[in-house]
Amino acid sequence: MSVDEFFVFISSAIYSGYALTRWYGRLPSYGPVRRDRAVKYVLGFLPVVSFFIIAVTLRFLASFDVVNDFFYILFYILLGYAWIFLGMRWVFRFFDISWIDDVLNLNNRAALVTVGGAFLGLTLIYSGANIGDGPGWWCVIFAGGLGLISWFLLGRLLNSFTQVFERVTVDRDIYCGIRFGAYLTASGIILARASAGDWTSFSHTIAEFLVGWPVLPLTALAILVERYYIRRDKMSESLNDTYLWGSLYWAAAYIVIAVVCAAVFPLVENPIYDNMPAAY
């Protein structure tokens, strides 16, 4: 283990332990009212889902020197948790949506769905950055960082046209929360694919990241959908229960579009890794 890997491992372990303790430590103190159980279940389940997504990616799709090495799998799992929980802090900073204030303290179901979508989006981008061969952890951070920055910028862009942040946190529009949460996950899928692949160089990684261009029309579609619902809200002056099925339809459509877009672009392998010895 190199000095930088040791430092990253210890830092990730400390922060992940702190973040997980803080995450789960707040759930038991949350009121035992029956209507609140969904909040506990969803928040409690999210880190478990992320663990399996990251672990499966590392075991079968990561670099040749990681897939069969228990230490490196643990290393990248801990780094992944640090990535996700730091990302959730940035979700609050850039999206003004808090899993503590909006979800736990205010029992905002719209925020709960959005937080779930954001958590999965962060997990998927990190997992995608781990797909392919590369010389070190910094490759994962750089490639995933491109996806993460794009994810936040596009989320802000969507809000600038549709005010989704305020509609989720202030209006508690559960239907908007369903659509926005699905968008965050779907855009995470596309940006995960853009962050994946064998490492060649910083410039090649940036060029290969452009394969994630379908996230732009996806964002444009989400803006058009939200503008449509904003107009309908103004006409009816109240949320309509019939929005549920439409919102579920668009949520499913976002995910399907993202999966198809990620699948149609095969990974480009770097031939330099063909002669690398397998790790046992």
pLDDT tens, N- to C-terminus, the chain (280 residues) = 789 999 999 999 999 999 999 999 988 765 554 456 788 899 999 999 999 999 999 999 999 999 999 999 999 999 999 999 999 999 999 999 999 999 999 999 999 999 999 999 999 999 999 999 999 999 999 999 999 999 999 999 999 999 999 999 999 999 999 999 999 999 999 999 999 999 999 999 999 999 999 999 999 999 999 999 998 877 766 555 668 899 999 999 999 999 999 999 877 676 665 655 554 3
Between the alpha carbon of residue 44 and those of residues 2, 27, 165, the distances in Å are 35, 8, 23
pLDDT at 276: 58
pLDDT at 238: 58
Q: Is 96 helix (H, G, I), strand (E, B) or coil?
A: coil
Between the alpha carbon of residue 147 and those of residues 126, 129, 158, the distances in Å are 9, 8, 16
- Rounded distance, CA 123 to CA 222, Å? 21
- Rounded distance, CA 116 to CA 94, Å? 16
Tokens of 137: 């952890």
Tokens of 5: 């890997």
Whole-model pTM: value is 0.93
pLDDT at 237: 60
Q: Is 28 helix (H, G, I), strand (E, B) or coil?
A: coil
CA angle 199, 204, 207 (to 5 degrees): 125
CA 208 to chain centre: 20
Contact criterion met (CB below 8 Å) for 83 and 123: no
- Rounded distance, CA 154 to CA 10, Å? 32
pLDDT at 279: 44
- Rounded distance, CA 197 to CA 194, Å? 8
Give me the half-sphere count of Cα atoms (radius 13 Å) on the Cβ side of residue 54: 27
Contact criterion met (CB below 8 Å) for 251 and 181: yes
